[in-house]
Amino acid sequence: MEALDGNRNLHAHEHNHSHALGLFGRHHIINRFATMLVCLAFNLLPQTTHAQETPPVLNLKQSIEIALERNLGIRVAVEEIEVSREQRKEAITEFLPQISADYEYRRPSETSTTVDNLTIDAADKNQYEFTGTFEQPLFTGFATLTNYQLAKLGLDVAKIQLAQTRLDLILQVKERYFSILRGEKIREVAEQSVRQLREGVRVSEGFYQEGMSPKIDVLDAETRLARAEEQLIRAMNDLEVAKSRFKTILRVPMDTHVQVEDILSTKSYERSYQSSHDIALKNRPELLEAKKNVARAEKGVTLAKSDYYPEVTFEMNYFRRGDDPTVNGSDSVDRESWDIVVGATWTLFEWGKTRYATNQQRGRLRQAQETLEEAIDTIGLEVKTAYLTLEAAERSVVVAEKGIVSAEENFRMSAERYKEQVTTATEVLDAQTRLTEARTSYTNALVAFNVARARLIRAMGLEGEL
């Protein structure tokens, strides 16, 4: 009996030992999984890397300065200013006297005449003549003054067009600068997603090996990892394209390494819509150009009407004549003489030509005035659109921030539920996917907000604001 009781006690001890080993194995698996979940959770946090040698970091102001210095469109606009400046100088010369010289040689067929059967030499056989003329316009029907004013307005327009070209270039630099920042942040999100999903695949494989999850969980995790790796490839490519476009506008070699400073901001825009609108009407170069075009059209009417008036000139001539190339006079002519002439030329009738030309210019004036009104309306619409877009972008940033908070909490809860074996691996993977999407949406919203701010600044015609 004692032996039988001993055997029973031995079997009970072995049974208890086996049960304890089973419990220990399960707890070991759960603890191992918990450790994996902790590692996975840490992968959700921003990763830091050791400092590496990197190219100099460009900020936005430096980028704009480089683009303005090297851009070919800017150089073309500057050359146009020089051309217009020379045209203005040319117009000034119309106010000044003109000095001209003329030298002639003439040999007439007949140089003698007969009087009472007597042949008399009336002219030299070889006739040389030099004429010097000083001519000063006194009145041109306001044409000279109007031409100068038109040239001056042309110079003003050229300067305004340079300002417009600068504003357009600055906006392009900003957009491409922010495009790089967007590409870098999207790449970081994609890299983070790949790390998370790789850890998820490892966890799924561990549970599958322990018999705690089906093979389909592993396959699902691997499929999502493949998609994330594909998204990472696209993100890296998009970043390189963004950098290439940025280097193109800066006109630097394509093999140049580019790194930009992260200046993405969530700071609210402080100006009101009315203030932004008033600034635009004061500064927009397109509006200033339209006003200059109205002034040019008015001068065009004045210029066309100048043909109604006479042209009055003062002229002084100096003559030297002779029968040899030195024009030192001869027996037939005096060596030198001079005269002064004040003359007026007035075209009295041209079948309505001046009236028709004036009517054409009046039509051009009406067109310019209507274009000015259209420019005012267009600029008002652009400012309103840009302002509303900025407001919407700012609200989107706030919503996207809340989305990240919600997605992070959802992932945390899903991980906890999976640790307690009350949910599936698919729920954890779905939560991770939503978290990646939330971070991507926030990046897009943040960049859109900063781009919208830059476009509103352009719509107001401001160059100095970043």
Question: pLDDT digits over 345-365, tens only?
Answer: 999 999 999 999 999 999 999
Higher pLDDT, 12 or 148: 148
Q: Mean pLDDT, to the nearest integer, of 137-164? A: 96
Question: How high does pLDDT run on average in the chain?
Answer: 86
Percentage, residues of the chain above pLDDT 70: 86
Higher pLDDT, 349 or 204: 349
pLDDT above 60 for 182 = yes
Percentage, residues of the chain above pLDDT 90: 68
Q: Report the candidate in 40, 41, 18, 32 with the shortest Cα–Cα distance to residue 210.
A: 32
Higher pLDDT, 332 or 287: 287
Q: Mean pLDDT, to the nearest integer, of 230-236? A: 96
Under the banding of pLDDT at 50, 70 and 90, the label for residue 330 is confident
Q: Mean pLDDT, to the nearest integer, of 225-252? A: 95
Under the banding of pLDDT at 50, 70 and 90, the label for residue 207 is confident
Q: Which residues, at least 6 apart from 375, have a Cβ–Cβ distance to it below 8 Å? A: 286, 287, 290
β-strand partners of 118:
115
Q: Give the integer Cα–Cα distance in Å for 387 and 225.
A: 41
User: Which of 115-119, 267-271, 380-384 is most confident?
Assistant: 380-384
pLDDT above 50 for 176 = yes
Q: For residue 46, what pLDDT is reported? A: 42
Q: Give the integer Cα–Cα distance in Å for 251 and 455.
A: 23
Under the banding of pLDDT at 50, 70 and 90, the label for residue 461 is very high
Position 327: which residue type?
V
Q: For residue 165, what pLDDT is reported? A: 97
CA distances from 243 to 55, 175, 184, 250, 437 (A): 14, 12, 10, 10, 24
- CA 28 to chain centroid, in Å, comes to 61
The CATH number, out of the four listed (3.90.110.10, 1.20.1250.20, 2.40.30.270, 1.20.1600.10), of the domain defined by the range 54-96+140-310+346-459: 1.20.1600.10
Per-residue pLDDT tens over the stretch 411-445: 889 888 877 767 777 888 889 899 999 999 999 99
Higher pLDDT, 9 or 323: 323
Question: Is this prediction's pTM over 0.95?
Answer: no
Q: For residue 109, what pLDDT is reported? A: 82
pLDDT above 50 for 392 = yes
CB of 333 closer than 8 Å to CB of 319: no
pLDDT above 70 for 125 = yes
Q: For residue 209, what pLDDT is reported? A: 84
Q: Mean pLDDT, to the nearest integer, of 311-332? A: 92
pLDDT above 70 for 191 = yes
Domain boundaries of the chain, sorted by first residue: 1-43, 54-96+140-310+346-459
pLDDT above 90 for 403 = yes
Neighbours of 450 (CB within 10 A): 23
